[in-house]
Amino acid sequence: MPAQYQISGESAAAISASIESGVLRGDWVAGAALPAVRVLADSLHVSPATVAKAYQELRQRGVVETEGRRGTRVRPRPAVAGPRSDLRLPVPAGVRDLTDGEPDAHLLPSLGSALHAVAREGGRPPGYASAVAMPALTDAARLRLAADGVPVEGATIAAAAGTLDALERLLTAHLRPGDAVAVEDPGWSNLLDLLAAGGLRPIPFAVDQDGPDPAGLAEALRVGARAVIVTVRAQNPTGGALTGERAAEIRQVLAGHPSVLLVEDDHAAELAGVPLHCLGPVTGSWAFIRSASKPFGPDLRIAVVAGDETTIARVVGRMRIGTGWVSTVLQRLLLHLWRDDQVTALVEEASRTYARRRRALCDALAARGVPAESKTGINVWVPVPDEARAIGLLRDRGYAVAPGSLFRVTAPPGVRITISTLDESEVAALADAVAAAVRPSGPGVPSR
């Protein structure tokens, strides 16, 4: 029986719960179209307004999205997960997986010695009343951020359970469902999912290898964005990094909007390999997030957040009524990693390795007439005329890449290629395959 005929309910809440349950069971696959409002209203013998409200509730919970004439569809990664849910794109056996956006596990430092050091320290674990960001961690973070030019003098620093955790707390504390957030386009897919799940509206602005487009950001602010999120280095998916000149232009734009929340994401941190150009503080509310996941491992769920006193107090306050705090075991572990000279050397070597792999692919694609740039990070963005066709052709030749639709709002189509595990011996064959996928009807340029 078609999924639409399994929808039931006489109220908006019941109808939305029925559809959400269907998504949970897998009756509705990503991208599946829901029935038109009037069609479903007739089927359920309710008013169109009731169905419209049900769809609105699902949009606000991040389960579906409305795409103009295409109607209402299940989101690519709906904010509802069943026991077998896996947000990774399916990759057939025997196909080289270049989709995941994760660091190379072989280039991550071993956590064994740091864990042993934490265990040897012993001591009584903190209780509910005393657990906060450790002064030793925040002091070390202040020095590291200041060394990179982040203006932390007078700033408050806290710990969060990763970048997304910090973003969710910042947005929840400052905004309400229906508010608009200015976001990079293309930009981080997890952020777009987070906004959808929180009932927030993304207003896209274009980005290039030097950072946000000032005119695009100005327009997003003009039409009502109450928060701005900028990736300062290793922009995902394009690999761009904010330059000093572009940062100065963006500060001028932001200076005219003092009530806006500015959030800067430095998720690549020690792996970035390019200078950091910080934007804030330029508005009344500002936060700078640096995660440990890329340089030290995705399982290390901790980030430090610096910002003005009120903004960081809101983050800590939201945490107190939720998870409470970031485990001091994780805080002490990160502190040991920061202090370990061998770990520092390993992270620096990983940064150089990623740079070689990234440059090798970009150069090989350029030699084949395919425009692709990436200053920093572990991803390369390749514009394509038709995403579905490019992905299919690449898969036929043994490569899986991420579709740009996961990262785009209104930006032109493209695909994201993760280079973190790409051996340089693989580059020529991959570049040939990409060139054929981008220009499927034209002759390929021979490998060099």
pLDDT of residue 6: 83
Whole-prediction pTM value?
0.85
Instruction: Please provide the distance, in angstroms rounded to a whole number, between the alpha carbons at the two ends of the chain.
Output: 54
Taking only the tens of pLDDT, the chain with its 448 residues reads 345 558 999 999 999 989 988 888 888 887 889 999 999 999 999 999 999 999 988 888 888 888 777 789 888 778 776 554 454 567 888 899 999 899 999 999 988 888 888 888 876 667 666 667 889 999 999 999 999 999 999 999 999 999 999 999 999 999 998 899 999 999 999 999 999 888 899 999 999 999 999 999 999 999 999 999 999 999 999 999 999 999 999 999 999 999 999 999 999 999 999 999 999 899 999 999 999 999 999 999 999 999 999 999 988 988 888 888 898 889 999 999 999 999 999 999 999 999 999 999 999 999 999 999 899 999 999 999 999 999 999 999 999 999 999 999 999 999 999 999 999 999 999 999 999 999 855 444 444 4
| Angstrom distance (rounded) from CA 167 to CA 216 | 22
Tokens representing 306? 């610096």
Amino acid 445: pLDDT: 43
Say whether 112-339 and 3-74 share the same fold: no
Domain ranges of the chain: 3-74, 96-106+343-438, 112-339
pLDDT of residue 444: 44
Question: Strand 64-66 to strand 303-307: parallel, antiparallel, or no bridges (unpaired)?
Answer: unpaired
d(CA 98, CA 379): 9
> And the tokens for 311?
């903004």
Indicate the CATH number for domain 3-74: 1.10.10.10
Distance CA 72, CA 34 (A): 6
Can you give the pLDDT at residue 81? 64
Return the CATH number of 96-106+343-438, one of 1.10.10.10, 3.40.1390.30, 3.90.1150.10, 3.40.228.10: 3.90.1150.10
Q: Give the architecture-level CATH label for domain 112-339.
A: 3-Layer(aba) Sandwich (3.40)
